[in-house]
Structure 1
């Protein structure tokens, strides 16, 4: 695998790059290039050697300018790939040749062209990218757009070319999807850079991510009076909150809980999980000690969002465990990101924590991001008839150091 800065350099030079996604997602590699460098030869190479569907990831605002609507009203794609209506430029004939597809793509990114310059449907497939890029959605669509922006950064725009890329899935010669080893061989054969979406996520977080403290107030609770502080992520604009009690800054280890939002457990009292009980127990422990911090991160459903979590619940109703439910609806088992929690702790002046958690991955992530964990404080929960299987899955498949209390 190559470094992201090597891929950026290749994109800037008009070369193709292979981008892979997570093995638990689509587990595929796409051949990608900045759309401004697309030629008939590039399209022919993609069609001949990669063999997948050639698509054009674009920014929402450009698609709006071209009045390109979603291909379907209800998107049922496993990963919500945002296809718009396909197009051909009005000056093409059939639109399918490498020459005419290349021409249509060049016109799509030509900001002097408008909606009446294209016929619908056609043979070029625009895709709508999420505004936050790979920090919002971990897809090839967003990855290529991020690479385009990174490669064009600092270069004066005198081309009037909209931000867009061209991607094509790579298949094996027998028609099956090319996986990691095959993709590595493909990259070596054609002398191409290869990076992963995860690489790009890490790169962007290291280069760009930060948090802004927005406001603070006092929140009286049944556990005592806390200071309530609101934060916003600078890139994604996600909002998070922190509850603190006492002076949490300095080198003395502070009792800390980093808690991911669970509407069903925290607010509705769901018995399907242990989240609500963990939340209340953490506040009780902090209150008893009189000093501590609870970081409340808005990453519902282990990072997949509320609606997708409910879809996972529906699968669990049929006997699927919580890990496989996430995988079956097209997400990794756990997409939570604790780096933002570490950034918030740093802003609060926290240096060392006694972390209230059963999750060893959380400890690893916090320490990797500059916060020392001096002690793990286990958080015990009462198992019930609805969450025993869930808790056992966390123990066995997610390696949580969980002490079950028999009901």
Structure 2
């Protein structure tokens, strides 16, 4: 994979139809924005940062996180959640790691099956989330986003972030459709 660039090559779904851009995924804990990591652009990461709190996740299957030696984020027993947050990473060769160009490059590296553990530095600015393989009872929104992109034939890594309103409050599932329409985004339900 070459050095970070911002070339345009994106996919999105409206129902099962793919179009360009990012997609809103309503959830009972707040709407999410997601897209396949393999083709994410710096422009899309910049939009994701602007429409979220800035925390960019990479939904990934556990076996791939293990292969890349990305460990779970240590937490106190009192702070345990059902989500498998891991140590944040950056791709080797990026600048500071925080820019949209750097984060899009890191996301594409995470989606590249040729990436090795040595191609990533820890800690970084993209936070992978450990996901289970698809099942009839997919339990969380990160796994649902991963199911959508893999069903469409993309590499099993998704950029995903929680959407927030301009005032910082979380966009709930009721507001997800309004939010998507306001910002020209598709919704996957």
TM-score by length of 2: 0.84
Is 1:132 matched with 2:125?
no
| Residue among 48, 51, 63 paired with 1:49 | 51
Return the alpha-carbon distance in structure 2 between the equivalents of residues 115 and 15 of structure 1: 29
Whose Rg is larger? 1
Is 1:17 matched with 2:23?
yes
Return the alpha-carbon distance in structure 1 between the equivalents of residues 131 and 64 of structure 2: 11
| Residue among 174, 182, 197 paired with 2:175 | 182
* Paired residues of 2:134 and 2:147 also in contact (CA < 8 A): no
Partner SS for 1:51: coil
TM-superposed deviation, 1:116: 0.8
Return the alpha-carbon distance in structure 1 between the equivalents of residues 67 and 142 of structure 2: 19
Structure with the higher fraction of residues in helix conformation: 1
> 2:91 maps to which residue?
89
> 1:405 maps to which residue?
none
Is 1:72 matched with 2:74?
yes
Return the alpha-carbon distance in structure 1 between the equivalents of residues 36 and 43 of structure 2: 14
Partner SS for 1:119: strand
TM-superposed deviation, 1:162: 3.7
Call closer, same or farther: CA 1:120–1:15 in 2, change over 3 Å: same
Return the alpha-carbon distance in structure 2 between the equivalents of residues 133 and 86 of structure 1: 26
Alignment of 1:204-283 (within 5 A): none
Call closer, same or farther: CA 1:88–1:75 in 2, change over 3 Å: farther
Return the alpha-carbon distance in structure 1 between the equivalents of residues 170 and 71 of structure 2: 29
Call closer, same or farther: CA 1:144–1:41 in 2, change over 3 Å: same
Partner SS for 2:133: coil
TM-superposed deviation, 1:75: 6.5
Partner SS for 2:71: coil
Partner SS for 2:15: helix
Call closer, same or farther: CA 1:7–1:34 in 2, change over 3 Å: farther
> 1:39 maps to which residue?
41
RMSD: 2.2
Structure 1, unpaired ranges of 5+: 153-160, 197-407
Structure 2, unpaired ranges of 5+: 1-12
Return the alpha-carbon distance in structure 2 between the equivalents of residues 170 and 8 of structure 1: 22
TM-superposed deviation, 1:134: 6.5
Call closer, same or farther: CA 1:187–1:180 in 2, change over 3 Å: same
Call closer, same or farther: CA 1:171–1:133 in 2, change over 3 Å: farther
Call closer, same or farther: CA 1:181–1:52 in 2, change over 3 Å: farther
* Paired residues of 1:62 and 1:162 also in contact (CA < 8 A): no
| Residue among 120, 123, 132 paired with 1:118 | 120
> 1:141 maps to which residue?
142
TM-superposed deviation, 1:195: 3.5
Return the alpha-carbon distance in structure 2 between the equivalents of residues 41 and 134 of structure 1: 34
Partner SS for 1:36: helix
* Paired residues of 2:23 and 2:34 also in contact (CA < 8 A): yes
Partner SS for 2:45: helix
Return the alpha-carbon distance in structure 2 between the equivalents of residues 96 and 61 of structure 1: 26
